[in-house]
Structures are given as structure tokens and as C-alpha cells.
């Protein structure tokens, strides 16, 4: 069994925390945990906007706290994000996520990220074989 504490990770075990100016993500499970997915808690700053396209991964995201919106850039459709809403990028959908208030999201990636990925110019993370 694997047990990890988000509060300890944010406080002391900073090797599991990845961030840029607009978001911070604690990677609770990574590829080397051998679960077949990675599991992250991501904090997106109030007022920030992010365009991502995870060409090499499927991702599902559950909003735990905060408000914002997500636009599917293929259809132009925008959905409100509030606690309780989940979105799944089942078509590797290119999207823009906006945080009106700070968003706290639980995210799952398949295949799992390894922990070293940063967003590339096109908004994707490298495929596992490229890492």
C-alpha cells in the first residue's frame, strides 16, 4: 500500500512538487509507483489562464475548490468549473482552462507522468518513451 500526505508533500517533500508562475502541482503518484496512472493535486492561481493539449496522455480532472471555466478549442464550447465538476480529455482535447478564483483540482494521467515533464510549446507533455 502507498500512503502519502499532500500537506507533508507541500511542506517538506518538495521533490514531488512541480510549478510554474501560474500553477503548482503535487504529484502524489508517478509512473514509478506502477499504478498505470499518475495522480496530482494542482493549484491554479486566481486570474490565470492555461492552454494545454495533452497529445500523449488522457487526463481527467475533478474540481475540489474554486471557480473557473474550460473551453474546448475544437468546438468553442465553454463549461463552468465549480467544485464537483469533472472533465475528461478523452480525445486529447486542446483546451483553455481559466481560474476565476484559485482552482484546486485532482488530476489523473494515463499513461502516468514520470515527474520530470514540463509543458512544451504546444501545451503537451512528452510521451513516456521520450522522457
Q: Where are the beta strands (DSSP E) in the chain?
A: 17-19, 23-29, 38-44, 49-52, 58-65, 68-72, 78-81, 86-88, 95-99, 103-110
> Which of 37, 39, 43, 52 is close enough to bind ligand 9YT by CB under 6 A?
52
Look at residues 26, 71, 78 and name the one whose alpha carbon lies nearest to residue 52: 71
User: Which residue, 111, 107, 106, 92, is CA-closest to 53?
Assistant: 92
CA distance 26 to 40: 5
Task: For residue 61, state whether it binds ligand 9YT (rule: CB under 6 A).
Answer: yes
81 near ligand 9YT, rule: CB under 6 A: no
Residues from 24 through 43 that contact ligand 9YT (CB under 6 A): 25, 27, 40, 42
User: What mask, x for binding ligand 9YT by CB under 6 A, covers residues 105 to 124?
Assistant: x-x-----------------
Which residue's Cβ lies closest to ligand 9YT? 25
Which range of residues in 5-13, 17-25, 66-74, 77-85 is near ligand 9YT by CB under 6 A? 17-25
Amino acid at each position: 500500500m502507498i500512503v502519502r500526505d499532500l500537506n507533508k508533500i507541500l511542506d517538506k517533500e518538495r521533490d514531488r512538487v512541480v510549478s510554474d508562475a501560474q500553477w503548482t502541482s503535487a504529484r502524489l503518484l508517478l509512473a514509478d509507483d506502477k499504478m498505470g496512472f499518475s495522480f496530482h493535486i494542482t493549484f491554479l492561481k486566481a486570474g490565470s489562464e492555461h492552454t494545454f493539449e495533452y497529445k500523449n496522455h488522457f487526463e481527467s480532472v475533478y474540481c475540489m475548490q474554486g471557480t473557473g471555466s474550460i473551453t474546448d478549442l475544437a468546438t468553442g464550447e465553454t463549461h463552468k468549473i465549480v467544485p464537483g465538476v469533472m472533465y475528461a480529455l478523452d480525445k486529447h482535447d486542446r483546451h483553455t482552462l481559466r481560474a476565476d478564483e484559485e482552482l484546486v483540482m485532482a488530476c489523473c494521467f494515463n499513461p502516468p507522468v514520470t515527474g520530470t515533464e514540463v509543458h512544451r510549446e504546444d501545451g503537451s507533455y512528452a510521451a513516456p518513451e521520450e522522457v
